[in-house]
Amino acid sequence: MENLQTHISVAGGVVKPVDGVSFHIKQAETVALVGESGSGKSMTALSILRVLPRPGGHIAGGKILFDGVDLAQLSEKEMRSYRGSKIAMILQDPHSSLDPMYQIGEQIGESLRVHHKASGAGVKRRVAELLRLVRIPAAEERARAYPHQMSGGMRQRVVGAIAMSSEPQLIIADEPTTALDVTIQAQYLSLLKDIQANSNLAILLITHDLGIVAKMCQRIIVMYGGRIVEEATVEQAFNRPAHPYTAGLVRSLPKLKGRVPRLYSIEGQPPALDTLPQGCRFAPRCPSVMDTCTKEYPPIVTLQDNQKVACWLHVHDTTKQPAA
């Protein structure tokens, strides 16, 4: 993804939920996209799949490169051969993702019929294989069940089976464990890691939970106000965060050892995307704000070990080189 810009036309102007976002994901890699609500995470994911809100949502600039093809330039008909087939998405609420009127097997089979032109007994066999892949017992029987007859954890696994049905190269998981309790959450994350290990698929994990990031991901991308403020390995982000916003997110994690102090919180609220402040968008909440921060948005600089940050605290250090 290069300089992606996604705009939404509204009465009285244009909102820019994705404003010049660039990052990459390698095969078999899990990358976390984190930030508070309204930072642009989910809109970035919807932009990749080209399923933006209508009317008004559109890609205003930049590239979405997938195997050398710019998805932003494809027609809707051409995009259908990628959406759900080569790129799949797991949504955070399986209850609303599944149609209550159709059996589980029919909903998984729909993807097979559309993308692989499968039919008859072949679809039934593949549906059972997919249910077993996501560790649902009595697969043939469960395929005849309706969503309301399954637990939240089972429904989330079914959504995962639908995403895996076309053997995609990239899965976008948008808060996939929000509706699950802690025990089922751990099982589901373990399942995703096992599936990834056997298939080499890439995962873009959108989450608020930094504990999940620590368990699942190799790299972390931090968004704020529609832009990326830091990109780092998970170890870098947790041990030496470069951006004050990243540092604030890490400090807000509860400590399990020793005396438990009052939990840290970042003062203030994220900016509304239709009234963004001048300069750095985190400046009104930043404990290290300088005069420059309120006047001009900082460029991205590359620190040691390819850690990248958009912050004037690092721009003024001449030992760091601007990102290419």
The mean pLDDT value for 61-77 works out to 95
Q: How far is CA 271 from CA 27, 30, 48, 115, 276, in A?
A: 34, 28, 24, 41, 6
Give residue 94's pLDDT. Answer: 76
Average pLDDT over residues 236-256: 92
Better pLDDT: 4 or 265: 4
Q: Does the pLDDT of residue 9 top 80, yes or no?
A: yes
Distance, in Å, from the CA atom of 284 to the CA atom of 264, rounded to the nearest integer, reads: 17
Provide the pLDDT confidence category of residue 93 given band limits of 50, 70 and 90. confident
- Asked if the model's pLDDT at residue 70 lies above 90, the reply is yes
Task: Count Cβ atoms below 10 Å from residue 104 Cβ, excluding itself.
Answer: 26
pLDDT of 14 reads: 92
Question: How confident is residue 260, by pLDDT bands cut at 50, 70 and 90?
Answer: low
**pTM of the predicted model over 0.85:** yes
Tens digits of residue pLDDT in 176-224: 887 778 888 888 888 889 989 888 899 999 998 898 999 999 999 999 9
**Cα radius of gyration (the chain):** 21
Mean pLDDT of 18-41: 95
The pLDDT of residue 119 is above 90? no
What are the CA-CA distances from residue 34 to residues 84, 174, 211, 214 (Å)? 23, 10, 12, 12
Per-chain mean pLDDT for the chain:
91
What tokens were used for 27? 């095969």
pLDDT band at 317 (very low <50, low <70, confident <90, very high): low
Q: How far is CA 19 from CA 40, 296, 306, in A?
A: 9, 15, 22
Contact 301, 230 (CB under 8 A): no
